[in-house]
Amino acid sequence: MFLTTEAGGRTTSVMSGYRPNHDFGIPGMLNDAQHEYIDKAVVSPGETVAARLWFVRPDFQVGRLFVGMSFTVQEGGRVVGNGTITHVRNSALLKAT
């Protein structure tokens, strides 16, 4: 979900290819990932959308991700959205249960 502009989110819409930072809980580290939005061409501030994230450096997430894990979408230090993992396609990134 992207935050509304009033809540500190973006002032403009985004499209697939948007590449913000993400905080997946590694202290002091943000990871870049490119967004691919599902069934939606343009996402406006305040909207919720399903997306695939393509990590620029997936090796930083090996064995760490799990369904239900929360993360933030950031532009630098500013949080512009929040997400929850619903599926992990790359099994190497899955946290052992």
Reported confidence tier of residue 97, pLDDT bands at 50, 70, 90:
confident
CATH code, 40? 2.40.30.10
Give yes or no for residue 95 having a pLDDT over 90: yes
pLDDT at 69: 97
Question: Does the residue 2 lie in any domain?
Answer: no
Answer yes or no: is 8 within a domain.
no
Find the domain containing 60 and state its range: 14-93
pLDDT at 19: 97
Any domain includes 7: no
Burial class (CB in 10 A: 0-12, 13-18, 19+), 43: buried
Cα-to-chain-centroid distance, residue 37: 11
Which is it for strands 70-75 and 51-55: parallel, antiparallel or unpaired? Answer: unpaired
Average pLDDT over all residues of the chain? 96
Could you tell me if 80 and 74 are in contact, meaning their C-beta atoms sit under 8 angstroms apart?
yes
